[in-house]
Structure formats: C-alpha cells, structure tokens
Amino acid sequence: MLSKSLMKKVSGLTILMLTCSSLASLDSLASESNSEDSKVENLLNNSYPSDNHLDDHVLSKDFDLEKEVENMPSVDEMNKEERELFNSIIEEQAELAGLESEKEKEVFTEYLSDFFNKDSQIYNNLTLAQKKVEGEINDISLDEESNNEKVSVASTISRTFTVETAHAFQPRIGVNFAGATFNTAIGFAVGGGVGAIQGFIAKKGKKEAAKLFSRTVTSRLKAWGFTKLALSVNGAVQWALNYSDVGGHIARYLDAHDSKPKNGWIDL
C-alpha cells in the first residue's frame, strides 16, 4: 500500500500536470486569438475605423444593455436609420468572417439578417436555421460539378454558421456565426460595429463592461434555448474583452472549453 507521503506527492504531481495542460491550452488559444485580432485591427484600420462617438443615452447610467438587446426590433420593423445601422454591422461581420468571395459574403449577410427578422423561418432559432441552411447546401451540391463556386459557398456555409448535429443528441453551431450574432446584437444596441463596441468598453471600463456583457450574452443564449451553454459566459466575456472582436472571441472561448475543444464548433 502506498504511504500517505507518496500519495500526496502523486496527487500533487497530477494537479500540476492538469494545471500545466490547462495553461498550455489557454496559451494556445491566446496565440490564435492574437493572430485573429491582428486581422481584425487591420480591417478596422482600413475599412471600419473605431468610432468612440457614442450616443449620450448609451453612456448614461440609465442605459440597460441587456434590455436594449432584448428589445432589438425585428429587421422588418426597423426605421430607415436603424436599417442602415443594421446593414453596416452585418456587412462588417461578413468581412470579419474571412470569406473568400462576394457570393459567400452575400450568403452570410442574408442568413445573419434573417436570424434577426421575425418574418423569417430562422428568426432567433438556430435549430430552424440548421434545416434551412442544410436544405440549401443539398440543393447546391446537386450542381457542384457544373459550378465550383457554388461548392465553395456550400462549404463556407457549413463551416461558418450552420447549426448541425454532430451526434444524435449533440447539436452544435459554428463559431463565426455565433460571434456574428453576439456582435450584431450588442453593436446595434450601442450604435455601431466592432469599433463602437470597443468605444463602449473604453467608456464604461472593463469591469463594468464585463458585467453588462455577461448578463446580456447569458440572456440571449437562454432566449435562444441554450441554457447550459450560458453557464460558461462569465469566463468567456472576461477573456474576450482583451480583444477587438469581442463576440468572436466569446464564441472561440466557448468552443475551446466544450467537449471537443477548438474544432470551430460550439457543442450545445
């Protein structure tokens, strides 16, 4: 029988190994995120400069980010100014997704817009989005030999923002679409894209912003039916606030801590 002293040493070594493994995983994720963030910074500098001019209401003590996101109007109910803002945000998200062709960007913005449109079958419902997107992919696949671009679009849809079933009881969502939905909802509430979100964080301070973002993202995940996933939001937000693409990094964090880490999908 092992002595108590030896058992303590073995237990301590096990804890140390697990800790090192966890830190290595976070270091790897941070390295990848820094690389992604550099791309975001370049894009923002060239096409979407940061906009720290936020509305007085957004910066007031009465501003409730969670409520503003919850009460975000459906696309079909937006006025002209709101629609212009919304369109600029989803176009920015298509750029941030790193899509290769204009056709892919059109498909991305179409589905992202539909997700926020109550007249769409996929409104706030990723399960229905899965059926719609998979149906389109199947249609595209039938014509793949005669149109290679359509194959590219189909693979992009599958990779970036479809919800699919990995196993019989394990649905999942692509990190790019998850990140885009977070950024779109929060960006619309504060009045701009990724640059405006960064301006909001700077004005509020990271500590206060972390509280607001955590409550908001948790609320949205629960509203979309992902209560279990919402339990990991606090850690995701704390980590994501260190990067420019907050929504995207929240999604990457969730992916890095699910049952199949860092595979580009968030297991639900």
Chain segment 103-136, per-residue pLDDT in tens: 778 878 888 999 999 999 899 987 676 556 555 6
Amino acid 266: pLDDT: 83
Give 78 or 9, the one with higher predicted confidence. 78
Min mean pLDDT across 48-62, 90-104, 240-254 is at 48-62
Give 166 or 69, the one with higher predicted confidence. 69
* Most confident range, picked from 47-51, 152-156, 180-184, 264-268: 180-184
Give 153 or 231, the one with higher predicted confidence. 231
Side by side, which strands form the sheet with 170-174? 163-167, 170-174, 265-267
Rounded percentage of the chain residues whose pLDDT exceeds 90: 44
Amino acid 211: pLDDT: 96
pLDDT at 208 over 90: yes
- Tell me the two tokens of residue 127: 């399960």
pLDDT confidence of 137, banded at 50, 70, 90?
A: very low
Amino acid 161: pLDDT: 53
Span 247-267, mean pLDDT?
89
Query: What contacts 25, CB < 8 A, 6 or more positions away?
Result: 256, 261
Quote the mean pLDDT of the chain.
Answer: 77
Rounded percentage of the chain residues whose pLDDT exceeds 70: 62
Beta-strand runs (E) in 15-168: 163-167
Calculate the CA 245 to chain-centre distance.
9
pLDDT tens, residue by residue, 159-171: 555 554 444 445 6
Beta-strand runs (E) in the chain: 163-167, 170-174, 265-267
pLDDT confidence of 79, banded at 50, 70, 90?
A: very high
Span 18-45, mean pLDDT?
55
- Tell me the two tokens of residue 54: 């936020």
